[in-house]
Every structure is written in C-alpha cells, then in structure tokens.
Amino acid sequence: MARITAVIDFGSNSVRLVLFQRTSRFGFKVIHESKQRVRIGEGAYHNGGVLQEKPMERAILALMGFKSIMNSFKVRKVLAIATSALRDAPNRNIFLNRVRKEVGINLKVIDGKKEALLGGIASANLLHLSKGVTIDIGGGSTEFALFENRRVLDTFSLNLGTVRLKELFSQNSDIEGARKYIRQELSNLPNEFRYPTLIAIGGTLRALAKVIQKRNNYPISRLHGYRYSYPIERDFINSIIYSSNSELLKIGIKQNRLDVIRWGVLIFQEIAELFEIDEVVTSGVGIREGIFLFDILRSSGRRFPTNLNPSIRNILDEFQVDDIKVVKHAVRTAHTLFDILQPHLNLDSKFRQLITYSSKLLEIGIKVSFYENSKNGFYLIINRLIYGISHEDSLLVALLVRFSSKSRIADEVLQQYRELLPPKSTIDHLHAIIYITKLLLSDYAPKSKFRFAYIDNRLEIRIYSPPLFQMVIAKFQPLENLEIELIPEFEDSK
C-alpha cells in the first residue's frame, strides 16, 4: 500500500503542500513538503479586502508548481483547504474559479471552527497527551481546541491575530493598548478552554519553542512534543515582547518572523497568564496533518484506535526485516520478563508499553545497514518515533534498542541525555529485559525454548534447546544490576 495523499494549506502568508504516504490503514509518514510565500492578501487591506491581481497570479503559479510535484509523486487524492486568507475576500469565488480552471485544484474555504477542529485532531492524535487545549495563533485569528483521549470536545475561534495587532498597534508600539484589546477578545472564550497544559501550534509558537530549546541546551533537536515549564520561562517570554529586532535575531529568531513574532508572543502571554498555564507542549503538527487525519480517520471516529501508535505502525510497515512471528515472539518474551521482574524490581507499569515498542523495533536498524545496526536503530527511532510519544519515552526506546546487544548502556550516553531519563536503576532493569530478549532471540526461532523464574534475587533462565543454549552462553555477559543464571535443561547437559 503506497497511496499518497496531498494536502494543500492555503494560508494568508504561505501556501503549503504536504504529501502523506500511507503504509497501512493507520501507518503513514510525510514524504514531501513545499512552501511558497504567496502573501495572497497583499494590497487587499487597502482595497476593501479584494484580492489583487499580482498575488493571485503568484498563487496560481505556486499551485501549478505543486501540481507538477503531485503528478511526479503520483498523488491519488488532493485535499486543498484555504483558511482566513480567502474567508473574507469579496472576490474569493472569482479566484477559486480561476484555481479550478487554470490549475485543476478545488480549494475549499473553511471557517475558524473547522480550522480549530483540524488543529485539535492533529494534536490530539499525534501528541502523547491525554488531555489538553491547543492554541494556534495565526495572522487574522486564533483557534482553540479542547481534547481528551484523542477526541476533540470543543473548539473556538477568536478574531485575534498577529497581523491584525500589528496593523492596529505597531505604529505607536502601543503594547499596553494591545493587551487591553487581547483581554477584551479573550473574555469571549468559554471557561472550559482554561486548562493548565497548553498545546502550541503554528509558526509563532514553534519559533518561540525553538529559542527556548536552544537556551536550555536541550539534548534532542525535535520540536514536536517538546515541553517546557511556563513559570520557568515566563520572564524570558516577557522579555521577547520588548526586544528589538537585533536582539531577536541574536537569540535565533529568523528574519522573516521579525515583523509579527512580538505580537504573537504577546497574545500567547496573555492567554498563558489567563489560563494559569503550567506547561507548554509544542506541536509540530497542525492544520495540515489535521486535514489528512480527518480523512483517514473518518470511519474510526476521527481518532486512532486505543494503543495504536501511528509512528510504530509506520516504522514496522517500512522497516521490519524478519519474520512477523519472530517479532511477536520477541514481544512475548519481553512481556513475560517484564511481568516476572516488575514486582521484584518495582518497575512502574507504564514502562511495559516502552518494552513493547523496544522489542518490536529491536531489529529495524538492519534496514539502514546490518553493520552497526543497533546504532542505526537508534538513529531511525530518534528520527521516526515521533508521534504519540513523549521525547523521554522515544529516547528511552531508542537507547534500549541501541544497547540491546551490549551488557550495559554507555555512561557518556546516559550523561548526555540525563535530564530526559528515569533513574539509572530503572534504565538498567529495562535494559536487562531487552538485552535478555535479544539474547534469547539468537536463533530467531518463533517459539519459546526457555522459561524464566525469579528466585532469591536472581533471574533463572532455563533453556531447553541445545543449539540455543550454546549460542546464548557464548554471547552472554553478566549485567550490573540483575543477577542471571543460565541453566541448560536437556539431556547430556549436566
């Protein structure tokens, strides 16, 4: 299954194309993104909102370019959506007809509520949070979505945007005036959206998160799922609002964000203070992923089934090397071990799922190269296990795979990721489970030829197959934090 769906997101500033490849019913990944700064609204403000010829021409050319890309990738389905950029233009139908006739693309204009819903669906399904409120600060409006258990419960859209604020307040740098205006608008927001975990969608808040990530020397470069404490960053965030352009450039804000970043952060700050936010979680996904998910999840209640992680599904779809039976056997072995060790080693049961993921992904690095395949597995997981999982958890899975053939995880690696990892003893025990699983998988047999027992603070592994026993005993190295005894259980073995 290699169906490719194109999503076109026609925004006020840019027009974007994203190509999603489906690898199974719920497995997918992005295989292409293009972006063109069309600025469709250029000149419209001074002409009663009427779209002008030049920007329309740019838009048509951009969409023609996208069309060429879609042809090359043999796109099967096109979902093209326009937001506030076209919503209020008096001549929007003329433009939409031109697009249809000249490019052959049906652009559909959606309202703010729908926009909020799409961002909400994306975050609810592709982040790891059971509950939260998404906020997407755009040029002309700000969207909110409240979700719980992967389902969007309610949405709201406010006429509050960076471009609007800039137009109204930038000439006199009237920040206090802007604050009043924002508060006035926010007073329309129903109380149910006030929730202490805020999920930040969109370019402004991503740019802010990037700066905060850099400031804190965060050890992973991924932005999707990045969390920070609002109270800790409060002063820094406030300082951005009052920074000069050159100060903003110095801390890493890109040139093309300079004109609106301060207004965006101002809106964000007002919301954060009003909501009494604890934590901000950055969402790398938004309306585009929402459009795609809205389509593929149409017959499953707009959400993934419980326990389905779309990244894991997609990685296995693409990179699984060996027999599915062997993978299942690995998972069973790891589960058995976890369940036997858990009560004795006080392992939190939340780690069981990570043990599932790790045992499923044990061998995927081979797809990059057999040589150093554990390192390659780490690389793949860090780059691909991104949806529906926290940074902490995906890092832990990556490390368990990387050191699955070693008797210990290298100290410098533990040191490097210290702030994201559980206590050393927990890591050691989880590592032991994966290490033993891999060891007992040496013969790749899809069935158990061994039994476990935990007796007198020692894990006994009875092995019933002579060839497997010979393999295991040759490779085995004692572990630091778990005593293990390998016992041959067959004739001639004593």
Residues that bind a second copy (CB under 8 A): 29-34, 36-37, 58, 61-62, 64-65, 68-69, 71-74, 221, 318, 321-323, 325-326, 366-372, 376, 379-380, 383-384, 442-446, 466-468, 470-471, 474
Q: In angstroms, give the least distance from the CB of 405 to a second copy.
A: 12
What 3-state class would DSSP assign to 407?
coil
Distance CA 77, CA 58 (A): 24
Report the residue number, 165 or 207, with the smaller CB distance to a second copy.
Answer: 207
Instruction: Name the one residue in this structure whose structure tokens are 């974007």.
Output: 16
Whose structure tokens read 């939340």?
A: 350
Measured CA distances, 309 to 20, 230, 290, 342 (Å) = 17, 28, 16, 24
Nearer to a second copy, 219 or 446 (CB): 446
Q: Min. distance of Cβ 224 from a second copy in angstroms?
A: 9
Tell me how far CA of residue 17 lies from CA of 61, 70, 428, in angstroms: 13, 9, 44
Looking at the Cβ atoms of 279 and 322, the one nearer to a second copy is 322
Question: Residue 9's closest CA among 283, 206, 287?
Answer: 287
Q: Which residues contact 331 (CB under 8 A, 6 or more apart)?
A: 356, 359, 360
- Provide, rounded to whole angstroms, the least separation between the CB of residue 25 and a second copy: 21
Q: How far is the CB of 446 from a second copy (least distance, A)?
A: 7
- Please, are residues 26 and 73 in contact by the beta-carbon 8 Å criterion? no
Q: How many C-beta atoms surround the C-beta of residue 360 within 10 A?
A: 22
Q: Which residues, 6+ apart, have CB-to-CB distance to 417 below 8 Å?
A: 219, 220, 395, 399
E-state strands within 272-361: 279-282
Cα three-residue angle 94-96-102, rounded to 5 degrees: 95
To a second copy, the closest distance from the beta carbon of 290 in angstroms equals: 18
Residue with Cβ nearer a second copy (279 or 443): 443
Nearer to a second copy, 244 or 369 (CB): 369
**Phi-psi group of 340: left, alpha or beta (phi > 0 → left; psi -120 to 50 → alpha; rest → beta):** alpha
Residue 153 vs 366, nearer CB to a second copy: 366
For a second copy, which is the closer residue by CB, 219 or 466? Answer: 466
Q: How far is the CB of 156 from a second copy (least distance, A)?
A: 30
- DSSP one-letter string for 63-111: HHHHHHHHHHTT--EEEEEE-HHHHT-TTHHHHHHHIIIII---EEE--
| Residue whose structure tokens are 């929402």 | 290
Q: How far is the CB of 192 from a second copy (least distance, A)?
A: 34
Distinct helix (H) and strand (E) counts, the chain: 19, 14
Least Å distance between CB 7 and a second copy? 13
CA gap 279, 199 in Å, rounded: 9
CB of 48 to a second copy, least distance (A): 27
Closer residue to a second copy (CB): 193 or 378:
378
Give, as one character, the DSSP assignment of residue 198.
E
Which residue's CB is nearer to a second copy, number 206 or number 302? Answer: 206
Contact 464, 449 (CB under 8 A): yes
Residue closer to a second copy by CB (options 384, 429) is 384
Minimum CB separation of residue 466 from a second copy in Å reads 5
